[in-house]
Amino acid sequence: MTIKIRPVTSKQDLDQFIQVARTANRDDPNWIQPLAFERREVLSPGKNPYFEHAKAQLFLAVRDGTPVGRISAQVDQLHITHHAEQAGQFGFLEGLDDREIFSSLIAAAEGFLKAEGMEIVRGPFSFSVNEETGLLVDGFDSPPRVMMGHNPPYYATHLDALGYVKAKDVIAYDYDARTPMPRSMEAMLEKVRRSGDLVVRTLSKKRLFEDLDIIIDIFNDAWSDNWGFVPMTPSEIQHMGNQLKLLVAEGYIAIAEYKGVPAAMSVSLPDVNRWLQGIDGKLFPFNWARVLTRAMRAPEAIRMPLMGVRKKYQSTAVGSALALAVIDAVRSYHSQRGTYRAELSWILEDNAAMRRMIELLGATPYKTYRIYERSLV
């Protein structure tokens, strides 16, 4: 019954790494099995541009020849450079409810990070702060939205017992787009619109990568002072563009120009997880038609993972109007198609200005994800 830790070194190991998530979550009706081929691409250095600036090791926990847990340990040079700290991360944490499994997995990840010279470990990040972030600690009663994690409550119990402490919480908000905008917000937005200085447009697929450059330039500026921020690279932008071409129509993304200069943006995604329910992570040979049928309809829900206003306008009335303008443009597009439910996520727990604005819009916090940390010295 002893737990053995095995590094992932082969295609078979990788397949087991992907499938062990199903073993750990099989009794949870709210867990959704990701597509196996998509997970394989994310975890493969030749296909994920994250590995151009990072290295990672995947580990399996095995008991009596059967995989019962998994974890990744990664070192992101962009994070180290941007934050000037020797901090590594762990991610993709899954396991049965057994302290020995979690202890063995964490020990393996920490051993890898110590050998790489890291002085602190944080996580879970799968793989980075720009992807799946945090461990679900509140809001277990509903399925996760696209690119958000889900796990049983006991994961936090084991991390707490192993000496991990909260570094930061991030919040997911549920939003009903039919909620009227408060009059004060409408008035502020209308004032900026009447000035003639504000122009809001949707993404242009004809110049997709030009618009993506604008979006990421705003993102890298707007988020640069945020806790844990890591800028996106040109390769990651290209990769994102290839994914967006398949997933979204132009109205999913809004760009606001103020006095002729791009100043704010918002990006929404269909809740792909709704399409994947009940197919066990496999498109072929029969499930592709089922998923395609779901994808051809307006989504039941969307997620807004990115919204940003350039730093020069933050904490100003113009900045608030810019944020409202891009959110409202995306909200209007989806509402016209009959999609009213949205998740706005994630928001740092101490981002008081943003939390106040979206709560005034009528959004309510419904899930909390925790990022843990522990010293390695």
Distance, in Å, from the CA atom of 226 to the CA atom of 245, rounded to the nearest integer, reads 28
Q: Does residue 372 surpass a pLDDT of 80?
A: yes
Six-digit token pair at 246? 């398949």
Distance, in Å, from the CA atom of 201 to the CA atom of 189, rounded to the nearest integer, reads 15
Angle 153-142-150 from CA coordinates, rounded to 5°: 45
Cα dihedral sign for 347, 353, 359, 361?
negative
Q: Are 325 and 191 in contact (CB under 8 A)?
A: no
Six-digit token pair at 191? 């004032």
Give 284's pLDDT tier (boundaries 50, 70, 90). Answer: low
CATH number of 179-339: 3.40.630.30
Q: How many CB atoms lie within 10 A of CB 231?
A: 15
- DSSP β-ladder status, 125-126 and 132-133: antiparallel
Model pTM score? 0.94
Give 260's pLDDT tier (boundaries 50, 70, 90). Answer: very high
Give 276's pLDDT tier (boundaries 50, 70, 90). Answer: confident
Question: How much is the pLDDT for 272?
Answer: 86
Residue of 283 and 183 predicted with greater confidence: 183
Q: Are 72 and 56 in contact (CB under 8 A)?
A: yes
Which CATH number does the domain 3-169 belong to among 3.40.630.30, 1.10.443.10, 3.30.1650.10, 3.90.45.10?
3.40.630.30
Q: What is the pLDDT of residues 197-255, one digit of tens each?
A: 999 999 998 998 899 999 999 999 999 989 999 998 989 988 888 888 878 889 999 99
**Mean pLDDT score of the chain, rounded to an integer?**
92
Identify the top-confidence range among 28-37, 107-116, 247-256, 279-288.
107-116
Q: Return the half-sphere exposure (C-beta side, CA atoms, 13 A cut-off) of residue 54.
A: 31
Nearest residue to 53 (alpha-carbon basis) of 212, 235, 237, 241 = 235
Question: How much is the pLDDT for 297?
Answer: 80
Q: What percent of the chain has pLDDT over 70?
A: 95
CATH 3.40.630.30 domain residues, the chain: 3-169, 179-339
Q: What is the pLDDT of residues 324-362, one digit of tens each?
A: 999 999 999 999 999 999 999 999 999 999 999 999 999
Question: How much is the pLDDT for 83?
Answer: 94
Determine the number of helices (DSSP H) and then strands (DSSP E) in the chain: 12, 15
Q: Does residue 289 surpass a pLDDT of 80?
A: no
Q: List alpha helices for the chain, DSSP H.
A: 11-25, 36-42, 77-83, 99-115, 154-161, 183-194, 208-222, 234-247, 272-276, 287-295, 317-336, 352-360
Q: What percent of the chain has pLDDT over 90?
A: 78
Q: Return the half-sphere exposure (C-beta side, CA atoms, 13 A cut-off) of residue 164.
A: 27
Q: Are 94 and 55 in contact (CB under 8 A)?
A: no
Distance, in Å, from the CA atom of 352 to the CA atom of 160, rounded to the nearest integer, reads 27
Amino acid at 134: G
